[in-house]
Amino acid sequence: MRAQTRHRLKQDAFSRATYGVAEQTAHWSVEHQNTLIIAGIAAVVLIAIVAGGWYYQSQQNLRASFELTQATRTLEAPLRPAGAPAQPDTPSFASAKERAEAARKQFQSIVDDYPHTRTADLARYFLGVTAISMGDNAAAESSFQWVASKASKQLASVAKLALAGLYSNTGRTQDAEALYKDMIAHPTTVVSKVTAELQLAGLYQSSNQPLDAKRLYEQIKKDNPSTEAGQLATQKLAELK
């Protein structure tokens, strides 16, 4: 029973935290679009991880999983209003940076203590998340690159999506474009072809390449009729007129 409870808590924490980081790294901010892409990523990542039995491979991985749950809870802890005192029974932080620093230490401890577990791969991903919150883009890039090249196919695809978003947000348009095209050519159950296409079209739109954006949105609309992706592409095409 305790194992089942830890498993359920783990699922909830990871789903919420994954939703948050994807929202941070998306390079375009239309709420409906974020809901379509981010919720899908969070749900499918969770299914893929649980189906793979990541958290039950060994006693060591169980301990690592429990610690990851605690770290993601830290990452989700509320921020106190300016001047408000901390409450002893309710963890909170004075700033997003302070919260990220606390979570980063926990994720790094998992990487150090359980380096050969799948949970450590997840912790490395979240090290990239906390680095973004701390304004350390170089550290975020390093973490996402490690996961993208060495983690499982599903988690690697999420890291690539986060890395592409980081590149887009920091003006590295060509690097972001190359990653999105790679994800389009090699989709996963976590990051589908249409997810990567929508992100690439958004990149074109935000980087003053309206003809490329229009072409890709039209293709998305054609390939995904009567779906949210198709509806979103139609909406974006209207904005480009």
**Does pTM top 0.85 for this prediction?**
no
| Residue whose tokens read 């789903």 | 15
Query: Given this model, what pLDDT does residue 139 score?
Result: 97
Q: What angle do CA 31, 36, 39 make, to 5 degrees?
A: 100
CATH classification number, 2-79+93-240, choose in 1.20.120.80, 1.25.40.10, 3.40.50.720, 2.30.42.10: 1.25.40.10
pLDDT at 116: 86
Dist CA 200 CA 223 (whole Å): 16
* Amino acid symbol at 187: P
The residue to which tokens 């089942």 are assigned: 4
Annotate 97-110 with b (16+ C-beta within 10 A) or e (fewer).
ebbbebbbebbbeb
Closest CA to 159 of 190, 200, 205: 190
Structure confidence at residue 228 (pLDDT): 92
Residue type, 46: L
Q: What distance in Å separates the CA atoms of residue 26 and residue 168, rounded to the nearest whole number?
A: 9
- Local structure of 226: helix, strand or coil: coil
Give yes or no for a contact between 45 and 18, defined as CB atoms under 8 angstroms apart.
Answer: yes
Q: What is the pLDDT of residue 18?
A: 43
Per-block mean pLDDT, blocks of 10 residues, the chain (241 long): 45 43 38 40 49 56 87 90 85 92 96 91 93 94 96 92 93 96 94 93 94 96 93 92 77
Q: By C-alpha distance, which of 208, 199, 207 is closest to 233?
A: 199
Q: Which long-range contacts (CB under 8 A, 24 or more apart) does 203-212 make?
A: 203/27, 203/28, 203/168, 203/173, 203/176, 203/177, 205/28, 205/236, 205/239, 205/240, 206/27, 206/28, 206/168, 207/173, 210/240
Summarize pLDDT for 145-187 with one digit per residue, the tens. 999 999 999 999 999 999 999 999 999 999 999 999 999 999 9
Residue 98: CA count within 13 A, CB half-sphere: 9
Q: What are the residue ranges spanned by the domains of the chain?
A: 2-79+93-240
Contact 105, 45 (CB under 8 A): no
Chain centroid to CA 232: 21
pLDDT at residue 53 in the model: 52
Q: Is residue 202 a contact partner of residue 225, using CB atoms and an 8 Å limit?
A: no
